[in-house]
Chain A
């Protein structure tokens, strides 16, 4: 187990370093000299030279990378051009919304995707299964922003049940503010619940072909007990790991949804920073999301092995 964990952590570390080189390079390949990007068009030559030296841009590129990586490890991601504030604090401001949105989305995904997937698998081959699987494929084919706009149209504009945009912090207005996240999380949940549904169904069908399931049936255990104790338990292993991936992917998938609902999360921050050419913020967000993505994947892989000792060393 430990050698597996170490090996897996090692690969993640290597990938992370390579990804960080790409993210570092980002600021050097965006159109224009990074100095002009940082100072704007009105900078004087003196200011330019001063900043170039201050940022170490007159150093060899490898040294620059190491300096940058050192700062990143100390939690310094540079300064936002637009906000005139550290990138870390700009990102931290959006983190509450993004994390709550992703969590609420995962709750819908679990509540809808898993039970419906189980039903489809148990009724495998019937019209109910075909209908549910077809509906899942349809859900996966709908753009989230289109769902979002319809949810606003129906539940915010017409019925007035939920607010249509924005999100005031729960630390200021209390838990009741979570109602701002209901519609966006539902829009975001639609395609992801569809994927989890299909995965649950496929995984249940895989397990139900195992010998021990046949043995359990042959022993005369009640069919529902077989489904619950023998099939579902084992099938959920694959589903639980998919939950980790989905949560990690949601942090960036939310870009469009956060824009539709004008939510102050990291996704909308990326889009606005692109429009404002606030490159340090874009760079910082990409870094944070990639690190979160890799770490969650690492945790999922490790926990998968703890949960299911049959997984081979890979």
Chain B
């Protein structure tokens, strides 16, 4: 990316300090996930019954849980799961939604069938669809990604479909086609490049909602296996000790909120720099 392009992308963030803060929180989370083994003061799974349910202090900044495990180390390690599930859901939604959306818009007859199928999937509320799939596939990390991803594949497909229909009607696309450009050339040269920035906006919102969806599944015991630390799993385990150990509720929850909020802020800032022609394809819900 050239210097000018980088400045163009950073512009909406510089104008809005709170969005910049969101970007900062996100970078911190990514760093925490990458450097988890070096950053965390203790082994996240080391059990020590003697110090169980210790409130936050100088040795254990975030306190310890019912097994005496260090909450701070577990919170840091959970960032990996958050990143993994978020990027998994985004990748799945893009890898399925983009081709289906583009092909539906370019080939109306195929599109008619495919978009009706998307309508059918959209008749299932996102969480219900995820729960149904978990029943069929069984609870696991990959299946949680698939189950949540399917719900956002539909919205991504709709957005790509809408955008491609608009692009197809542009004069330069028609000109290119009249000069004999093939479909693959059109997609690679004119459609995909124009989809990048709106898809970046969509990706940040999907990433945010995936955090909340994954936390819900973990909380219900239908997401990532309980032995892997995740913010949702930590909250689910803390339920029984809420009154005695409120710090177990506070820290993982704050991390979910901070991550989802930052992603929403970033998505909002990116949306504002979006091509005005595309803005109305995105609803308020993102």
Contacts and interface: CB of A to CB of B under 8 A. Distances in A.
A5 interface: no
A141 B260 contact: yes
A145 B235 contact: yes
A248 B125 CA distance: 9
A198 B284 contact: yes
A15 B284 contact: no
A26 B220 contact: no
B251 to A, nearest CB: 11
Given A286-B124, A290-B123, A141 B285 contact: no
B278 interface: no
B220 A255 contact: yes
Interface in A210-264: 248-249, 251-253, 255-256, 259
Interface string B105-141: 0000000000011011001110110011011101000
A30 B135 CA distance: 7
Given A141-B208, A199-B284, A274 B128 contact: no
A39 interface: no
Contacts of B138: 31
A153 B220 contact: no
B242 A143 contact: no
Given A22-B120, A289-B128, A294-B123, A274 B246 contact: no
Interface in A283-314: 286, 289-290, 293-294
B264 interface: yes
A134 B148 CA distance: 26
B18 interface: yes
Contact of B284 (A22, A26, A150, A195): A195
A153 B243 contact: yes
A48 interface: no
A62 interface: no
A128 interface: no
Contacts of B125: 248-249, 251-253, 289, 293
A109 B143 CA distance: 33
B131 A141 contact: no
Contacts of A107: none
Nearest to A285: B128
A137 B219 contact: no
Contact of A271 (B120, B220, B246): B220
A210 to B, nearest CB: 16
B261 A18 contact: no
B45 interface: no
A134 B18 contact: yes
A142 interface: yes
Nearest to A143: B215
B96 interface: no
A19 B121 CA distance: 8
A31 B136 CA distance: 6
Given A152-B242, A256-B219, A286 B128 contact: yes
B68 interface: no
A153 B18 contact: no
Nearest to B217: A256
B249 A150 contact: yes
Contacts of A143: 212, 215-216, 219, 232, 235, 253, 256-257
A101 interface: no
A31 B135 CA distance: 8
Interface in B207-226: 208, 212, 215-216, 219-222
B189 interface: no
A157 interface: yes
A149 interface: yes
A157 B243 contact: yes
A140 interface: yes
Interface in A117-172: 134, 137-138, 140-143, 145-146, 149-150, 152-153, 157
Contacts of B215: 143, 145
A14 interface: yes
A112 interface: no
9 contacts: A14-B116, A30-B136, A140-B264, A143-B215, A146-B253, A252-B127, A256-B127, A289-B128, A290-B123
Given A16-B123, A157-B243, A290-B128, 15 more contacts: A11-B119, A15-B119, A141-B212, A141-B263, A145-B219, A146-B235, A149-B249, A252-B125, A253-B125, A255-B216, A270-B128, A274-B134, A290-B123, A293-B124, A293-B125
